[in-house]
């Protein structure tokens, strides 16, 4: 069994795997010489056996009220009453960036890392940190993703596509260098790198140095008999790295260069290419035009063809998702791909957990043990969890630390309601919110369960469509579902915890640095279909909530990972000592 070593800085902990000796010392220190125990200490002031409903509103953040804030525009009397009721029982928590284990505060949260944090009670490395751990330990080469692409090494080419930079926002040069060495050591004989120059997360003009550094590495590989070259390139904002389906021409320019070997500029080397293209007075690393590298006969040295392997080595998802769709979807029709090579494709990570995109990836989600769900089941808490298909895995698999199935089938029941299929979610924006709420209500009123946990997907799934009117309807439906659940809690004298996993529906328009809506060339607003960086609400209440329970004021930077200890307390238990601190306290009236 592996454990995580607890750290105690004031606001942020990342849990890493350590050696057995450290594990043993942790057991001795925290659990005593008798060994590990699942038993939780009783909370000194809060009773057990209360029925608690945990409601996760997917994609429900808190932002300034305006016409593009669908939560504000929608009729949401239940959520409004929680916000405007007792101020000591409603607050905001962080759901993005370091609070959920992502590298920077510019990283939007998502449903996967959000539910990981909610269930785990600790902050686990995600994104770049996860890749660093996998490379350092060598586990990246032992997983299914690498095994999958490795099958192409004997007869095909390994193509690596991504941002060439040490900016650390989307990718890192040192990770690419380690991947090149690891792949070549494990049988890759022909490697082509398709570079995207930065100038956004690093200084403009630094691209030449990065290309020279990469060329040095490739030269060393060639000295070992490996055919390794840069094959194509271009600036990140002009080639490949569009996001939120804003401009598919950006992705097409990348496809033409990387897959077809066609571009308006042809050079014998990438250093020559970048230096020459930068001679234009208006040149900028971000916007360098697409180029391909050609051999002495004028042929592109590295088009992607049948039998090849492709890895997109960015760890950040937002600017790789569009290319991933073009590489993976056979029925892709947004632009003419000309040809669709039969390749083995893997992302550095899985970029979209909802779409399962890409289906193969080199670095798996974090290994999370001792989740709140498992602790509570071991301490007699009977659990019911429910959502519809698109979020069922989040309220079960991701909540339980990326673990399938039950901890104890005699203590748990999970119910999946089939999502609508064959239509986009804005066509039926109410989705299955009513059905989820009915299942939760029935579970609460049955009094069979101590915890009834649901995810209401509407704000996120409809928000992603960019349909503002439909998203308003979606938010209203989610609010009505919350009311049904809270009414049931009222009947059984229970407790509710209502929160969210990340933002989305609260801001549906792209904005400039002043916060003003951006307009397109025709004067129309530019719709935002992505998640946001906004905090999310958490509210507690219900007739079963003990007098004097309120949110603490000494955890101002609290995030989703603090919710687990909070819920454990409400079940009548103290959380394990290495969990993020609870958000609540009990004061004597």
Give the residue numbers annotated as catalytic, written as ranges.
111
Going from the C-alpha of 311 to that of each of 179, 192, 264, 508, the distances in angstroms are: 10, 11, 24, 32
Would you tell me how many other CB atoms lie within 10 Å of the CB of residue 385? 27
Distance between CA atoms of residues 551 and 422, nearest Å: 43
Q: Which of 316, 332, 315 is nearest to 259 (CA)?
A: 332
Contact of 368 with 402, CB cutoff 8 Å: yes
Residues 6+ apart with CB under 8 A from 29: none
**DSSP code of residue 155:** T
Distance between CA atoms of residues 454 and 474, nearest Å: 16
Distance between CA atoms of residues 492 and 72, nearest Å: 31
Cα dihedral 207, 212, 213, 218, rounded to 10, equals: 130
Q: Residues 164, 170, 174, 175: is their CA dihedral positive or negative?
A: negative
Encoded tokens for 572? 């009548």
| H and E: helices and strands count for the chain | 17, 16
Contact of 56 with 115, CB cutoff 8 Å: yes
The helix/strand/coil state of 18 is coil
Distance between CA atoms of residues 564 and 549, nearest Å: 16
Strands 495-500 and 536-541: antiparallel
Contact of 123 with 170, CB cutoff 8 Å: no
Phi-psi region of 549 (alpha: psi -120 to 50; beta: other; left: phi over 0): beta
Going from the C-alpha of 11 to that of each of 188, 192, 430, the distances in angstroms are: 43, 42, 37
* DSSP letters for 239-250: TT---TTS-HHH
Distance between CA atoms of residues 443 and 383, nearest Å: 10
């Amino acid at each position: 069994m592996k454990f995580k070593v607890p750290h105690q800085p004031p606001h942020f902990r990342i849990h890493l795997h350590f050696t057995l000796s450290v594990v043993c010392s942790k057991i001795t220190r925290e659990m005593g010489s008798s060994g590990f125990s699942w038993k939780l200490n009783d909370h000194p002031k809060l009773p057990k056996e209360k029925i608690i409903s945990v409601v996760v509103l997917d994609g429900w953040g808190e932002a300034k009220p305006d016409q593009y804030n669908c939560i504000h525009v929608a009729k949401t009397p239940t959520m409004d009453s929680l916000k405007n009721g007792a101020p000591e029982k409603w607050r905001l928590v962080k759901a993005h960036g370091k609070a959920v284990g992502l590298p920077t505060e510019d990283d939007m949260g998502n449903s996967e890392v959000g539910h990981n944090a909610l269930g785990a009670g600790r902050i686990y490395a995600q994104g770049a940190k996860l890749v660093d751990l996998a490379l350092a330990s060598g586990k990246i080469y032992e997983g299914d993703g690498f095994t999958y692409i490795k099958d192409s090494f004997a007869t095909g080419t390994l193509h690596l596509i991504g941002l060439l930079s040490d900016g650390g926002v989307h990718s890192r040069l040192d990770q690419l260098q380690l991947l090149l060495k690891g792949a070549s050591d494990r049988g890759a004989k022909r490697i082509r790198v398709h570079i995207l120059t930065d100038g956004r997360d690093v200084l403009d003009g630094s691209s030449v140095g990065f290309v020279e550094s990469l060329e040095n590495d490739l030269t060393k590989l060639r000295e070992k008999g490996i055919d390794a070259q840069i094959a194509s390139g271009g600036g990140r904002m002009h080639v490949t790295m569009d996001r939120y389906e804003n401009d598919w021409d950006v992705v097409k320019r990348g496809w033409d260069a990387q897959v077809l070997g066609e571009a308006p500029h042809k050079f014998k080397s990438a250093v020559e290419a970048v230096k020459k293209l930068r001679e234009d007075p208006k040149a900028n690393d971000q916007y360098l035009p697409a180029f391909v590298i050609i051999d002495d006969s004028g042929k592109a040295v590295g088009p992607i063809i049948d039998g090849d392997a492709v890895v997109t080595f960015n760890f950040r998802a937002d600017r790789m998702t569009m290319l991933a769709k073009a590489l993976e979807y056979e029925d892709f029709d947004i632009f003419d791909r000309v040809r669709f090579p039969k390749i083995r494709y893997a992302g550095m990570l899985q970029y979209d957990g909802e779409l399962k995109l890409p289906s193969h990836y080199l670095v798996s989600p974090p290994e999370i043990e001792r989740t709140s769900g498992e602790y509570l089941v071991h301490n007699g808490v009977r659990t019911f969890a429910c959502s519809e298909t698109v979020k069922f895995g989040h309220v079960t698999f991701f909540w339980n630390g990326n673990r399938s199935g039950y901890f104890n089938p005699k203590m748990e029941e999970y119910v999946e309601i089939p999502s609508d299929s064959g239509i986009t979610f804005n066509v039926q924006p109410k989705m299955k919110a009513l059905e989820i709420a009915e299942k939760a209500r029935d579970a609460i009123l049955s009094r069979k369960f101590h915890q009834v946990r649901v995810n209401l997907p509407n704000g996120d799934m409809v928000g992603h469509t960019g349909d503002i009117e439909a998203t308003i309807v979606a938010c209203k439906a989610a609010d009505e579902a919350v009311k049904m659940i809270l009414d049931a809690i009222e009947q059984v004298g229970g407790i509710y915890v209502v929160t969210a996993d990340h933002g989305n529906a609260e801001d549906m328009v792209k904005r400039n640095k002043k916060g003003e809506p951006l307009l397109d060339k025709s004067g129309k607003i530019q719709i935002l279909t992505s998640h946001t960086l906004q905090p999310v609400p958490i509210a507690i209440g219900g007739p079963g909530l003990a007098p004097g329970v309120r949110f603490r004021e000494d955890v101002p930077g609290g995030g989703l990972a603090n919710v687990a200890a909070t819920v454990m307390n409400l079940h009548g238990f103290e959380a394990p000592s290495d969990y993020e601190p609870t958000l609540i306290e009990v004061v004597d009236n």
